[in-house]
Amino acid sequence: MSFSMLQVVKQCNSVTNADSVAESEGHYWLKHGGSKVGLVSAKDITALEQACQEHEQAVFDIDHSTRTLRFSASLASQESRSSAVAALLTEMRAKQSWASLLKWRDELYPIYGSNGELVAMVERAASYTFGIRTFGVHINGIVQGSNGETRMWVAKRSATKQTWPGYLDQIVAGGIGNGMGAGESVIKECSEEAGIPEHLARAAKSAGTVQYFARSELGFLPETQLVYDLELPQGFVPQPADGEVQEFYLWTMDQVVDGVRQGLFKPNCALCVVDFLVRHGYLTPENESDYLEIFDNMHCPLPFPGPILNKM
């Protein structure tokens, strides 16, 4: 089995027109003020509505005529919305109302409004079901050989990982949650996932973003990944530190490309590799037929507002 690079990026960016998918499949938009901030399937709305009826506090208003979900108007602040949704989700987790809640992470993800303001924080596992825009950092770990050859550290995800177990990943990648900033997340994830000490992690160079609208069996994942390149010393060997990684490989770029084409990478990690290959001249207008279309699938416009990053 071999995939083209365009197939690889489209496997991740699989919702090319969220409006028409929402319309044709009958999903509900999560809205705040005048903005769409999430997308929830009709099936999950049914389970949510039932949970809301059994719950003591008003948390959401559901309008079936416009297929719209909103936080209850009685919840007037970020804090009140966050604590109300936390209580509701805790009940729903116990009742297994949403499949996503079986993957409870104890980590809070932000929902942003049209001016970058925080609307609420919600449990990460529910982010797929709410279909909210999420943010992460992906770090390409690079080693420059004495012979001029570039190699890349690749992580094999643990077999017990809650998502995509056993697939290949960047040396370090993680969601930005709990109100952390991007740079802070880089340092924290480098330490936790690969045992990269802070003095090395600080060399990570910001190199752009990739952005896509993915879906899984649990819901929608409109995501923005902040991409970093981190050149590591030749002698450094990353260590699986928190059990999320089973093993690290130091691969030539040819091996990395083969892994991508064989579908061994988690889809959004594959997309980050493609971004690396493009930025560093491995994929070019001359050697890649789908060069132009690849970009449209690596920088997908999303229908949801985002934060002012340096004020996160």
- In single-letter form, the type of residue at position 71 comes to F
Q: Is residue 292 within the footprint of a copy of itself (CB under 8 A)?
A: yes
Q: Is residue 306 within the footprint of a copy of itself (CB under 8 A)?
A: yes
Q: Is residue 291 within the footprint of a copy of itself (CB under 8 A)?
A: yes
Q: Is residue 34 within the footprint of a copy of itself (CB under 8 A)?
A: no
Site for a copy of itself in 250-279 (CB under 8 A): 278-279
Given a contact cutoff of 8 angstroms between Cβ atoms, the answer to whether 248 and 144 are in contact is: no
Q: Is residue 299 within the footprint of a copy of itself (CB under 8 A)?
A: yes
Q: Compare residues 146 and 310 and give the one whose CB is closer to a copy of itself.
A: 310
CB of 134 to a copy of itself, least distance (A): 13
CB of 173 to a copy of itself, least distance (A): 15
Given a contact cutoff of 8 angstroms between Cβ atoms, the answer to whether 70 and 61 are in contact is: yes
Among 297, 269, 256, 258, smallest CA distance to 3 is for 258
Among 195, 208, 240, 263, binds a copy of itself (CB under 8 A): 208
Given a contact cutoff of 8 angstroms between Cβ atoms, the answer to whether 176 and 225 are in contact is: no
Q: Kindly tell me the sign of the dihedral angle through the C-alpha atoms of 26, 28, 33, 37.
A: negative
- In single-letter form, the type of residue at position 264 comes to L
Q: Compare residues 106 and 286 and give the one whose CB is closer to a copy of itself.
A: 286
- H helix count then E strand count, the chain: 10, 13
CB of 222 to a copy of itself, least distance (A): 12
Question: φ and ψ at 154, to 5 degrees?
Answer: -120, 135
Which range binds a copy of itself by CB under 8 A, 19-27, 49-57, 207-215, 239-247? 207-215
Which range binds a copy of itself by CB under 8 A, 156-164, 248-256, 265-273, 304-312? 304-312
Cα gap 101→143, rounded to integer Å: 39
Helix (H) or strand (E) segment spanning residue 245: strand 245-252
Cα gap 75→171, rounded to integer Å: 41
DSSP string across 57-76? S--EEEETTTTEEEE-TT--
Binding string, 159-198, against a copy of itself, x = CB under 8 A?
Answer: ----------------------xxx---------------
Q: Compare residues 75 and 226 and give the one whose CB is closer to a copy of itself.
A: 226
CB of 166 to a copy of itself, least distance (A): 31
Cα gap 186→176, rounded to integer Å: 9
Which range binds a copy of itself by CB under 8 A, 77-85, 149-157, 193-201, 299-307? 299-307
Chain positions contacting a copy of itself, by CB under 8 A:
181-183, 205-209, 211, 224, 226, 278-281, 283-293, 295-296, 298-301, 306-311
